[in-house]
Structure 1
Amino acid sequence: MHQQSNRQLQERLTSLSIADVLARAARFFTRRSGVYATFIEKQGPSHLVLRGQGGEELVIAARVTDAGTSVSGSTYMFDQQLARFLDSLPTAPAVSVATPDAAAVAALPHGVS
């Protein structure tokens, strides 16, 4: 049996919703055949637990952040397949940080910045 510390944790940001990420993950991993076949063991609104050969567990979770949907996956045996899945997701748009322009700063009362 594998210990949690031996698992691979991978993460990506995507522009997809949590529901879309989980639906894509279910399609991606349950349509495989042979040694990389999995079935859905548990599913919740923000996570998916799949089980594969030898009882190997693959967990995918997603949460909304200011930068997009953060998707993480944890597994031991399916690390390459997990990386392929995460790479297939559309990336989240770059987040720009607003900086005050010089005129707005100059218009502030003295001593305020």
Structure 2
Amino acid sequence: MPAADVLAHARDFFARRSGIYAAFLEKQGPNWMSLRGQGGEEIVIAATEEAGGTAVSASSYMFDAQVAQFLSTLPPAVETAGSVA
């Protein structure tokens, strides 16, 4: 999945969460975004295209379960000969 698609998916995923678990785009760069949730909670997501796929990292203080759910919705990297996904 291209990095731009990962970020678009994150924006939509967190906007659809219910009530206190929703978060909305606050700032965005070419390969990262920060979202704000209930009480000012911040989620930061970065996506960088690399050989064989896109590396995605995410960080949050209180939204750990929601971040884990988001990451689980991403397609796995495709293994190529000589690489480890």
Partner of 1:77: 62
**TM-score normalized with structure 1 length:** 0.69
Task: Kindly provide the amino acid, as one letter, of the partner of residue 51 in structure 2.
Answer: D
Q: How far is 1:45 from its partner?
A: 1.2
Partner of 2:2: 17
**What runs of 5+ residues in structure 1 fail to find an aligned partner?**
1-15, 99-113
Task: Kindly provide the amino acid, as one letter, of the partner of residue 35 in structure 1.
Answer: I
**What runs of 5+ residues in structure 2 fail to find an aligned partner?**
none
CA distance in 1, matches of 2:82, 2:25: 39
Q: Secondary structure at the match of 1:32?
A: coil
Partner of 1:40: 25
Partner of 2:48: 63
**TM-score normalized with structure 2 length:** 0.90
Please list every run of at least 4 consecutive aligned residues from structure 1 whose deviation after the TM superposition is greater than 3 angstroms: none
Higher RCO (Cα < 8 Å, 6 or more apart): 1
Structure having the higher Rg: 1
Partner of 2:80: 95
Task: Kindly provide the amino acid, as one letter, of the partner of residue 6 in structure 2.
Answer: V
Q: How far is 1:91 from its partner?
A: 0.6
Q: How far is 1:54 from its partner?
A: 1.4
Matched residue count: 83
Please give the root-mean-square deviation of Cα atoms over the aligned residues, in Å. Answer: 1.3
